[in-house]
Amino acid sequence: MARSHVKLGAVFVGWIISSFMLLVMLFGAVGLALYSGVDMSSLLTGEQQLGGFYLNFTLFVSVFTAFFAGGYVSGRMAAIAGLINGVLVVVTSALTLFFTGTFIVIVGNALSIDVMGSIEAITGAYRPLLIIAGVFALAGSVLGGRFGEGYIVRLDTALAARAQNSRQARKAAIPERAPAAKSIPVATPEGRQRKELGRPRRAG
């Protein structure tokens, strides 16, 4: 039976890690914006957009870091096919976002709330940023998955080298034994008399 390279448990844990980091960064950004006096309603409606190179760069680095961590955990737990498991972290996040948005739209329509219009207004204003952030997320998950996959190989190599060094150290600590000297028999007068007494005498 062929062994599957996709580890759903590893992908799930990687998705949890990346989602948690994104939520922490999002709450931190919202708190900083509120502390700075930014009008959040104008940001959501698209009347005021986020701009600036440093702000956008921080957004991309945050997304890259979050998905790098998720991909690394996924690749390390799977130990094989880190690229596939890392990419699946992004795919899982995208599917979760899609189904969550669909559920919110359905609930909004049931309550006669135009949720779809608000979503289109927000995504329309920040569509280029979202596309670039998606590219950074994919790159982070792929690199993290590959790096996490190589952890097992690096660990095996380090353990093998450590065991080899330990064997060499033990071998060097044990002194080599010198070969035992061979004893050379020495003829003595007493020994000669015993040999002569033990010899049978010839007749005649």
| pLDDT digits 0-9 by tens, 174-196 | 665 655 555 565 555 555 555 55
The per-residue pLDDT for 176 is 59
Average pLDDT across the chain, whole number: 76
Average pLDDT over residues 56-65: 87
Is residue 95 pLDDT above 90, yes or no? yes
Say how far apart CA 81 and CA 16 lie, in whole Å.
Answer: 19
Please say if the pLDDT value at position 121 is more than 90.
Answer: no
- Residue 14 CA to residue 53 CA, distance in Å, equals 29
**pLDDT bracket for residue 135 (50, 70, 90):** very high
Segment 5-21 shows an average pLDDT of 88
User: Which region among 63-67, 87-91, 155-159, 163-167 has the lowest average model confidence (pLDDT)?
Assistant: 155-159
